Structure 1
Amino acid sequence: MRLRWEAFLERVTERGEYNTQDEADRAARVVLALLGAHLVGAERAELAARLPETYALILLNPLPAAEPLSAERFVRATAAWIEGATHATATWDVGAVLSVVADAAGEDLTRRLLLQLPPGYDLLFGRPEAV
């Protein structure tokens, strides 16, 4: 079932302890664009079907990554795309967004997504050792 935009953004705002939904939206857009570049096939489509349409389109339309980013490099890439972000704030942003994504995806899909990603993403999704 597709999560409503308001519900998704409310959860990201709460988890990330953002002052505004605009901050949460910016983090969600960056993180989902980067994530979408690393996912392929049925799992990416299945995840998109569970996200609000705006975010589903972001997930489905990035350019494919030239190479898989380690979890650490994923956080650094997020920091590079969010103005004023530091490594610490980007780690926080990624965790806030991906933990909500994992909740929307459910355990089975999250496990299959993690199998497509390099080691270490389980922590970013808030699912230590979920694989």
Structure 2
Amino acid sequence: MRWSEFVAQVRERGQYPTAKEAERVSRIVLSALGGHLTGAERTELAVRLPQEGMRVLTGQLKVTKPLSGAQFVDSVAARIEGATPATARWDVSSVLSVVAELADKDLLDRIIDRLPPGYALLFGRAQLTRRAGQLV
């Protein structure tokens, strides 16, 4: 997928008025996500993204304090002028739902499993929990 196609999908999902706005949101969300992913999951996801998305994701240093899904949304809201937690959740979900389609199920499961609670819904998935060795 080319970067322009990625941005077009984000624009459609988020119903952004321009490609420029969809690109701005994509860069902010991928940048924020890049600090939270490490190891094999980060590398595997990066190679599935368009080259520009790969650069944005991998150009980030690892965060020192992992954020819950809600805190992640708040951190994105702080990066977008005039954003509220509700609009930032929309922005994050618009981008991460496209990212989820580029990752296969196994990779997305591992990404969600390695992130703190609250990210599954942002990727458009239900948040499953483990109880006594089984998913519930």
TM-score (norm 2): 0.91
Q: What is the CA–CA distance in structure 2 between the aligned matches of 1:56 and 1:90, rounded to whole Å?
A: 22
The structure whose RCO (Cα within 8 Å, separation 6+) is larger is 1
- Deviation beyond 2 Å, 4+ runs, structure 1: none
* Cα offset, 1:129, TM superposition: 2.9
* Cα offset, 1:130, TM superposition: 5.8
Structure 1 residue 8 and structure 2 residue 10: aligned? no
- What are structure 2's unaligned runs of at least 5 residues? 130-136
1:72-125 CA-partner distances (Å, limit 9, x unpaired): 110000000011111111000000000000001121111111111011100000
> Which residue matches 1:125?
123
1:34-90 CA-partner distances (Å, limit 9, x unpaired): 111011111101101010111101100112101100101100000000111111110
Q: What is the CA–CA distance in structure 2 between the aligned matches of 1:117 and 1:58, rounded to whole Å?
A: 19
- What are structure 1's unaligned runs of at least 5 residues? none
Give the % identical residues.
53
Report which of the two has the higher share of helix.
1
> Which residue matches 2:133?
none
Q: What is the CA–CA distance in structure 2 between the aligned matches of 1:106 and 1:16, rounded to whole Å?
A: 22
Give the aligned CA root-mean-square deviation in angstroms.
Answer: 1.1
Q: What is the CA–CA distance in structure 2 between the aligned matches of 1:129 and 1:91, rounded to whole Å?
A: 16
Structure number with greater Rg is 2
Q: How many residues in Structure 1 have an aligned counterpart in Structure 2?
A: 129
TM-score (norm 1): 0.94
Structure 1 residue 32 and structure 2 residue 30: aligned? yes
Q: Which aligned pairs between 1:96-107 and structure 2 lie closer than 5 A? A: 96-107=94-105
Q: What is the CA–CA distance in structure 2 between the aligned matches of 1:77 and 1:58, rounded to whole Å?
A: 17
Q: 1:111 touches 1:130 (CA, 8 Å); kept in 2?
A: no
